[in-house]
């Protein structure tokens, strides 16, 4: 860059800096963005010197957060007093509209806003969730709703735990038969302390919420009270605006008792998953689920949505690999049993069943994320198979012209699974696939070999099972290493194969190999 251009740029920067310093009023950059205010039809945007419906900011008393706004169209000049409660929550009071001449100096603002002027609450539209200040579960001891004590169905009301500490579930049975049960799935988005009170605001996630309803709930509890006793009272505003909390007539007041977390119905046995699995990241075969094993919880994260969709909370360790667990999905919890099988150094299988009989069990296969060197099993060798025996019967007519393949497992290359397609003239075979072996093991009766291979075309892997007998059955599942009847059939394909050569004799294939191939293919054709 030459000197003149640099000077020119410097001048521009200087000019911009002076201009922004001279601009009459700047809103704090932390407040910029879109905000929800109850009762307004659209989101409110705060820009550097402008707020929709309030107009342009013309002056500020920064220490006290008084702002003077003027809106030309309605000829309205007014003072706003902002209170920043949380990065996700602002509150404000405002004065009446004035003529610009009457309200020309911001120093008048502290006297222009009536002390009892309504307090409005702004919720940041794309707020990031945060830890909730209360840790469920809680039982309800007493409920005051709409000013009267509610006696019905206290025992069926509760505050329950959800998949993580950023959410909880509020379940209030109706006080009279004319009302509906209130069942809310809530996400904590803002917390602040004022005096002896802790306030927090939640966004409503449950599906029963209708769009014209208020999408937020506001709560408070007395901080001292919660710290010193096992029961405390929690108030909930009738709307999400955090305005009516102190009005005993309006708010819902719950007296809650904390029940020891996870200890509702179990012994004190601490339940912790094995240490040796904890320091790794694990992935499902198709790479859509990421798994973390933490002390008492296994988190399953859907990678595309980048959020947990399941948490397997350890309730009781029955033996070193068998656990009673609670599976959290959002705010629902299901009790199941979990067996963790370590298949190889880098493969874990989670087997989830209903504890009583093993009728239905779901098997999830996870591979460790690390740089590992693995070899293919050498006991499989060279196989020949056709793309028939497909499980999808209704597609049968589509694969009338069967293709023939030659699969070589760890022979030419110790860590590669190679597939060649055999063209019409049998001398010619073309390479169609060369994948990398990641792990392999045998079934306990040694009759089946399992092999996980990494595709060369994507980051996904798949599991093959080779049922070894005269005719070898190859099954391929792209979701897990389970080939049960209750598995998702669309992820499994099945081939019947013939062994043509073990690996050791593969060095000089050429003539012998081709001859054998022809004979076998003829046999296969004749047996049809
Ligand atoms: C606003 O009022 C203050 C105090 O009354 C005074 O010092 C200041 O000069 C006034 N500013 C303007 C722009 O009139
Ligand atoms: C407001 O936030 C919601 C989700 O929090 C999002 O779906 C919506 O698009 C946002 N609206 C705007 C106008 O950004
Ligand atoms: C736990 O609950 C079961 C029924 O759900 C009950 O049979 C059992 O006695 C309870 N155990 C304890 C320690 O409360
Ligand atoms: C559980 O813990 C309590 C105190 O922490 C103890 O009194 C009780 O004996 C324990 N029960 C079992 C089954 O370990
Ligand atoms: C653990 O307990 C389960 C269920 O009782 C049993 O099937 C399994 O064989 C046990 N495993 C070990 C290693 O003891
Ligand atoms: C595997 O993929 C790489 C690039 O992704 C490519 O260069 C290579 O030829 C592929 N090998 C086979 C056998 O398909
Ligand atoms: C197994 O199935 C997956 C997914 O359909 C596919 O990508 C892979 O190539 C198949 N592997 C073999 C050896 O057929
Ligand atoms: C990926 O595999 C899991 C099982 O491990 C399965 O539940 C899920 O549907 C699969 N996802 C896709 C996109 O195939």
CA distance 379 to 383: 11
pLDDT at residue 314 in the model = 92
Q: Which ligand is nearest to the CA of 419?
A: 7
Of all protein residues, the one whose alpha carbon is nearest to atom 6 of ligand 6 is 456
Strands of 25-135 (E only): list them. 33-36, 44-46, 50-51, 55-61, 66-71, 76-86, 89-94, 120-124
Q: For the whole model, what pTM was predicted?
A: 0.74
Tokens of 323: 């656990």
CA of 267 to the centre of ligand 4 (A): 7
Query: Ligand 8: which of 286, 301, 463 to mutate, most ligand atoms within 8 Å of CB?
Result: 286
Check whether 158 has a pLDDT greater than 80.
Answer: yes
**CB-based pocket (< 6 A), ligand 4:** 267-268
Q: Which ligand is nearest to the CA of 33?
A: 2
pLDDT at residue 5 in the model = 57
pLDDT at residue 240 in the model = 64
Residue 10: pLDDT band (50, 70, 90) is: very low
pLDDT at residue 389 in the model = 43
Answer yes or no: is the C-beta of 525 below 6 A from any ligand 1 atom.
no
Tokens of 217: 């709930």
pLDDT at residue 67 in the model = 93
Q: What is the pLDDT of residues 107-133, one digit of tens each?
A: 888 888 988 888 899 999 999 999 999
pLDDT at residue 95 in the model = 93
Residue 15: pLDDT band (50, 70, 90) is: very low
Tokens of 330: 């959002």
Q: What percent of the chain has pLDDT over 70?
A: 80
Alpha carbon 236 to chain centroid, angstroms: 28
> DSSP string covering 371-433, please?
-------SSSEEEEEES-S-S-GGGGGGG-S--EEEEEESSSSTTEEEEEEE-SSTT-EEEEE
CA nearest to 192, candidates 216, 224, 218, 173: 218
Check whether 219 has a pLDDT greater than 50.
Answer: yes
Q: Which ligand is nearest to the CA of 434?
A: 6
Q: What is the pLDDT of residues 41-73, one digit of tens each?
A: 899 999 999 998 899 999 998 778 899 999 988
Convert 434-476 into a string of H (helix), E (strand) and C (coil): EEEEEEEEECCCCCEEEEEEECCCCCCEEEEEEECCCEEEEEE
pLDDT (mean) for 338-363: 89
Of all protein residues, the one whose alpha carbon is nearest to atom 4 of ligand 8 is 479
User: So where are the chain's domains?
Assistant: 17-124, 138-257, 272-368, 381-503
CA distance 414 to 503: 10
Give bridge partners of residue 239 from the DSSP assignment: none
Largest CA distance in the chain: 105
**CB-based pocket (< 6 A), ligand 2:** 34, 43, 125-126
Of all protein residues, the one whose alpha carbon is nearest to atom 14 of ligand 5 is 319
CA nearest to 165, candidates 187, 148, 182, 149: 187
Does domain 272-368 sit in CATH 2.60.40?
no
CA of 435 to the centre of ligand 7 (A): 10
Answer yes or no: is the C-beta of 455 below 6 A from any ligand 7 atom.
yes
Q: Where are the alpha helices (DSSP H) in 232-288?
A: none
Q: Which residue has the higher pLDDT, 353 or 244?
A: 353
């Amino acid at each position: 860059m030459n000197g003149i251009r640099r000077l020119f740029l410097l001048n521009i920067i200087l000019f911009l800096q002076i201009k922004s310093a001279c601009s009459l009023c700047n809103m704090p950059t932390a407040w910029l963005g879109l905000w929800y205010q109850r009762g307004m039809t659209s989101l409110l945007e705060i820009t550097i010197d402008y707020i929709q419906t309030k107009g342009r900011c013309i002056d500020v008393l920064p220490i006290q957060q008084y702002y003077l706004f003027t809106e030309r169209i309605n000829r309205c000049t007014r003072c706003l007093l902002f209170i920043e409660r949380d990065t996700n929550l602002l509150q404000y009071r405002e004065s009446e509209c004035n003529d610009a001449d009457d309200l020309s100096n911001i120093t008048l603002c502290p006297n222009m806003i009536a002390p009892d002027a309504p307090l409005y609450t702004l919720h940041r539209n794309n707020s990031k969730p945060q830890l909730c200040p209360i840790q469920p579960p809680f039982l309800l001891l007493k409920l005051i709703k709409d000013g009267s004590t509610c006696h019905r169905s206290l025992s069926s009301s509760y505050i329950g735990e959800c998949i993580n500490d950023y959410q909880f579930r509020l379940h209030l049975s109706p006080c009279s038969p004319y009302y509906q049960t209130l069942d809310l799935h809530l996400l904590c988005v803002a917390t602040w302390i004022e005096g002896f009170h802790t306030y927090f605001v939640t966004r409503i996630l449950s599906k029963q919420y209708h769009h014209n309803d208020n999408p937020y709930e506001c709560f408070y509890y007395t901080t001292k009270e919660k710290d010193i006793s096992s029961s405390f009272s929690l108030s909930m505003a009738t709307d999400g605006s955090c305005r009516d909390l102190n009005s005993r007539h309006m708010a819902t007041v719950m007296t809650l008792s904390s029940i020891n977390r996870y200890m509702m119905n179990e012994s004190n046995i601490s339940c912790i998953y094995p240490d040796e699995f904890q320091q790794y990241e694990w992935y499902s075969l198709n790479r859509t689920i990421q798994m973390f094993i933490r002390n008492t919880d296994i988190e399953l994260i859907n990678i595309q949505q980048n959020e947990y969709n399941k948490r397997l909370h350890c309730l009781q360790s029955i033996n070193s690999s068998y656990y009673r667990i609670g599976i959290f999905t959002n705010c629902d919890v299901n009790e199941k049993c979990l067996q963790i099988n370590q298949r190889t150094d880098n493969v874990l299988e989670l087997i989830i069943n209903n504890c009583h009989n093993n009728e239905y069990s779901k098997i999830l296969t996870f591979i460790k994320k690390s740089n590992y060197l693995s070899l293919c099993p050498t006991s499989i060798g060279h196989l020949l198979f056709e793309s028939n025996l497909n499980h999808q019967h209704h597609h049968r007519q589509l694969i009338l012209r069967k293709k023939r393949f030659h699969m070589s497992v760890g022979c030419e290359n110790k860590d590669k699974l190679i597939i060649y397609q055999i063209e019409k003239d049998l001398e010619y075979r073309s390479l169609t696939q060369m994948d990398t072996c990641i792990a392999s093991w045998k079934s306990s009766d040694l009759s089946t070999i399992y092999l996980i291979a990494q595709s060369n075309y994507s980051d996904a892997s798949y599991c093959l099972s080779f049922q070894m007998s005269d005719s070898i059955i190859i099954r391929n599942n792209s979701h897990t290493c389970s080939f049960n009847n209750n598995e998702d059939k669309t992820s499994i394909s099945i081939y019947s194969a013939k062994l043509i050569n073990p690996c050791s004799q593969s060095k000089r294939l050429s003539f012998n190999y081709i001859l054998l191939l022809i004979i076998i293919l003829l046999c296969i054709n004749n047996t049809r």
